Structure 1
C-alpha cells in the first residue's frame, strides 16, 4: 500500500473538519503547531481553486498568456498577486467555515471574489491606505469636478496602498499617460502633462494636512523602495542612494517648516530671558538659516543656497532686517502656543 503524503493527510484532515462544521472553531483554539498544519492543509486545497477560478482569467485579460498556463509560469509580480489572493482565501476559510461543508473546493470557489476583495482591503488597511478609495466631495470640488483630475486622484489613492512600484518613478506615469489620453482625447500629451496633473492633485490634497498625511503620505512611505534604473556600476561594499518617496521640493518645504518652528521657539526663549527682540531674531535666523546652517547636506555641491548667503545679505540690509524682525514678532504674538 502506498503511503499517503503529509500534504495529502493534512488536506484530508481539513476536509473532514469542514464536513463536520468545526474547521474554524478547531483552528481558532489550536496550538501553534496544529494551527500551522491546518492552515497548510487549507492552503494545499485553496491554491488550485484560486488559480483555476480567478488567476487564470485575470492573467488572460491582462494579456499574460504564459502566466495563465500554470502557477510555475507566473512572472514575479503575477506570482505575488496570486500568493496574496491565496492568503486571503485561506484567511477566509479558517475563519468562516463554521457550518458543515460537503465539498470544500466548491464552497471556496463560491467565495473567491468576496474573500480576495476583503483581503485586498485588509492589506490596504495594514498600510494605512483607504480601503475603498473614493474622492471626498471637498477634493472633487477643489479640482473643479474635472473628470480626469478626479479619476487621477482616485488612482493615486489606489496606488499608495499597493505594494507594487513603478521602477525608478514614484508614480506609474506610463499607464496614467495612456489613461489621460483616453479620458481627455488628447493623444499628443506626454508624461510632462501627467506630472503637472499629479502636482495639481497633490497641491489640493495637501490643503487638508491631516487627511493627506494619513491617506497619502503614510501609506506611500510604507511602499517598497522603487528600483533604481541607474546605469552606474555598483561598487561592492557601498550603499546605493535611496529614492525619496516625495519630491526634493517637498522635502525642502517640510525641513524648512521644522527649522522655522525651532527658530521661533529659540527666539521666544531668548526674549523671555531679556535679550532685545531684534538681536534675538537676527542671531537665531543667522544661526539656523545663515552662514553656519547646513540645509542642503544631502544635495550635490552647488545644488542649493550655499552657506545661506542670501539670508546673510538680507540681514545686512537694514530695511530687510526690520521687515524680518517684524514678521517674526508678529508670528510669535499671533501664535502664542506655537
Structure 2
C-alpha cells in the first residue's frame, strides 16, 4: 500500500528532521508555502489578529476571519505571510511541535516584517510625531492620535475602498477616544484629517518624504465590475445623476452606522439606545456632499428611517435587523 501524506504532514516531517528551511530553498518551496499557510493562519488569527482587533475596538473583526474589514484583512494576510517566511527561513533544527515553536516567534516575526514593508515604501518604520507637529496640533489628544494613524496608514498596503483614508473606522475610533459619538461622523473626521495634513505641509520636505511618497506607493483602490464571458460590463455605465450620488452616500453612511453600532455594543452598551442614537446622529441631519440636493420625489428620503424610531413596533424591527447585520 502506498501512503500519501498531506502537504501539512510533509511539512511536519521535514521540520522534525530539521530539513524544512533547507528544502524550502529549493524547487519544492511553492508547495511548502501553501502548507505553511494552512498551518499558520489559525495561529496568527487566534494569537495576533484577535488581540489587536479587540484593542482597536473592532469586536466584529475579532469574531472570525470572514468578518474582517478590508484593511484588517490586509493586515491579517501580511502577518500570516511574515510568519510563514519566518518558519521556512529559520526552521533549521529538528522541531517536534511546530505550533509550540511558532507561537513565541509571532511577535518578532510580524513586527520585523511590518517595519521592513514600511521602510520599503519610504514610510517611518516607527511612526512618532515630531515636536513641531504636536505643537501645531495644540497637543490635542485626538488630533495627535489621528496624525499617528495617518503616518501609520500611508505605510501600509491596505486601501479604504474608494476613499483615500479609512474615515469610517477612524470615526469609530474618534467616538471611543473622545466620547463624542454624535460628532464622530466621516465628514467631521475628513475635516480633521485635512487639518492635520495642513500642519504637516508646513514642513514640505518632511511631508514629501513621510506622507506623499509612501502614500503614492499604495495600490489605488479598484472597484470590481461584473462582466460577461467576453469581458463586457453586464451593466453599462450611465451618467451618474443626483439620485445615484445620494444612494452612494447613503450606502457609505449605512456602513459607518453599522460599524459604530457594532463597536459600541461590543463595549457593552444597550443595543436599543445605541441603535437609536447612532441612526439619529448619522441619518438625522449630519448629511454632507450631495445630500443637500433634492433628487428624490419626496422632500425627505430618510423620513422612513427617522420616523420609524418613534414607533415602538417598528423600532423593535429596526433594532432586530441591525443586530442581525452586526452579529
1:132 aligns with 2:126: yes
Is contact 2:44-2:80 (8 Å) kept? yes
Task: Identify the residue that residue 10 of structure 1 maps to in structure 2.
Answer: 10
Could you report, residue by residue, the CA deviation over 1:257-280 in whole angstroms, capped at 9, with x for unpaired residues? xxxxxxxxxxxxxxxxxxxxxxxx
Task: Identify the residue that residue 100 of structure 2 maps to in structure 1.
Answer: 106
Is contact 2:15-2:94 (8 Å) kept? no
Could you report, residue by residue, the CA deviation over 1:204-243 in whole angstroms, capped at 9, with x for unpaired residues? 21122222112111221222323569xxx9637xxxxxxx
Secondary structure class of the residue paired with 1:111: helix
Secondary structure class of the residue paired with 1:62: coil
| Change in CA separation of 1:200 and 1:106 when aligned onto 2, cut-off 3 Å | same
The partner residue of 1:147 within 141, 149, 154 is 141
1:48-87 aligned at under 5 Å gives the runs 48-55=42-49, 62-64=58-60, 68=64, 73=66, 77=70, 79-87=73-81
Please state how far the C-alpha of 1:84 moved relative to its aligned partner.
Answer: 2.1
Is contact 1:127-1:161 (8 Å) kept? yes
Task: Identify the residue that residue 208 of structure 1 maps to in structure 2.
Answer: 203
Task: Identify the residue that residue 272 of structure 2 maps to in structure 1.
Answer: none
Q: Distance in 2 between matches of 1:82 and 1:177?
A: 22
Task: Identify the residue that residue 263 of structure 2 maps to in structure 1.
Answer: none
1:225 aligns with 2:220: yes
1:249-264 aligned at under 5 Å gives the runs none
Q: Distance in 1 between matches of 2:100 and 2:114?
A: 22
| Change in CA separation of 1:178 and 1:42 when aligned onto 2, cut-off 3 Å | closer
Could you report, residue by residue, the CA deviation over 1:92-118 in whole angstroms, capped at 9, with x for unpaired residues? 122333444332220101222222222
| Change in CA separation of 1:12 and 1:97 when aligned onto 2, cut-off 3 Å | closer
Is contact 1:122-1:131 (8 Å) kept? yes
1:122 aligns with 2:122: no
The partner residue of 1:96 within 90, 94, 113 is 90
> How many residues in Structure 1 have an aligned counterpart in Structure 2?
226
The partner residue of 1:34 within 14, 28, 37 is 28
Q: Distance in 1 between matches of 2:105 and 2:213?
A: 32
Could you report, residue by residue, the CA deviation over 1:45-84 in whole angstroms, capped at 9, with x for unpaired residues? 323433444445566773338952xx6x465735544332
| Change in CA separation of 1:112 and 1:224 when aligned onto 2, cut-off 3 Å | same
RMSD, aligned α-carbons: 3.5
More contact order relative to length (CA 8 Å, sep ≥ 6): 2
Please state how far the C-alpha of 1:89 moved relative to its aligned partner.
Answer: 0.4
Deviates more, 1:34-43 or 1:57-66: 57-66
TM-score normalised according to structure 1 size: 0.55
Q: Distance in 1 between matches of 2:106 and 2:13?
A: 22
Task: Identify the residue that residue 235 of structure 1 maps to in structure 2.
Answer: 236
Secondary structure class of the residue paired with 1:224: coil
Q: Distance in 2 between matches of 1:191 and 1:235?
A: 30
Is contact 1:14-1:42 (8 Å) kept? no
Task: Identify the residue that residue 229 of structure 2 maps to in structure 1.
Answer: none
Is contact 2:50-2:62 (8 Å) kept? no
| Change in CA separation of 1:148 and 1:55 when aligned onto 2, cut-off 3 Å | closer
Q: Distance in 2 between matches of 1:44 and 1:196?
A: 43
Secondary structure class of the residue paired with 1:164: coil
